[in-house]
Structure 1
Amino acid sequence: MADRLTKEIIAKIENHAESARWAISATAISGSGEITTATELTSLGIDSLGLADIIIDLERSYGIQIELTTAEAWSNLRNIGDIVEAVRGLLAKEA
């Protein structure tokens, strides 16, 4: 079961996907029909520009600074779990 932070981040990514009209393929979604931490960003149709938008939203929402270039983010944040753990780590440093 996903914790609150994970659920919030998944919801934010889903909102971005809907507003950008990204095509969510059937292979992106687990057998339960849900997007999970294992879901690859590329399978949701998220490109580097979409990832940048998501990062900006997360920074604003959580008052954090994700210090990655677009290329670094694209190679380090490959699935939703990677994003959750990056945010979780930054929030822990702030506490």
Structure 2
Amino acid sequence: MTDQLPTEILAEICKHAEPDANPITLEAKLTDLGIHSLAMADILFDLETKYGIEIETDTADTWSNLQNVGSVVEAVRALNEQ
């Protein structure tokens, strides 16, 4: 079975990225894709709903750790394993 998590999260981020954003890869910085606080809150809410997890979004540490697409994937993966 292949790991679909990165593909699914990339698809979710694509919904909120600027239309002319650079190619969206795991290394892509969220701010370079036009993902800022409001869009990020929407993405996190959608991921929480989809995966039945809770992502802590009210601390500066959480926001500073979610710098690129890959960090979002790893955060969701870690919460799924709990």
Normalising by structure 1, what TM-score?
A: 0.75
Shift of 1:15: 1.6
Asked if residue 9 in structure 1 is aligned to residue 9 in structure 2, the reply is yes
Question: Is the 1:40–1:78 Cα contact (8 Å) retained in structure 2?
Answer: yes
Asked if residue 85 in structure 1 is aligned to residue 70 in structure 2, the reply is no
Question: Is the 1:23–1:45 Cα contact (8 Å) retained in structure 2?
Answer: no
Q: Whole-Å Cα distance in 2 between the matches of residues 82 and 71 of structure 1?
A: 15
Q: Whole-Å Cα distance in 2 between the matches of residues 57 and 83 of structure 1?
A: 12
**Higher relative contact order structure (alpha carbons within 8 Å, sequence separation ≥ 6):** 2
Shift of 1:23: 4.2
Alignment gaps of 5+ in structure 2: none
Q: Which structure is higher in helix share?
A: 1
- What amino acid does structure 1 have at the position aligned with 2:66? L
Which structure has the bigger radius of gyration?
Answer: 1
Asked if residue 65 in structure 1 is aligned to residue 43 in structure 2, the reply is no
Shift of 1:70: 6.1
Normalising by structure 2, what TM-score?
A: 0.86
Alignment gaps of 5+ in structure 1: 30-34
Give the length in aligned residue pairs: 81
- What amino acid does structure 2 have at the position aligned with 1:37? L
Shift of 1:71: 3.7
- C-alpha distance 89-15 of structure 1, shift in aligned 2 (>3 A): same
What SS does structure 1 have at the residue aligned with 2:54?
coil
Q: Whole-Å Cα distance in 1 between the matches of residues 41 and 62 of structure 2?
A: 8
Asked if residue 24 in structure 1 is aligned to residue 17 in structure 2, the reply is no
User: What's the RMSD between the two structures over aligned residues?
Assistant: 1.8
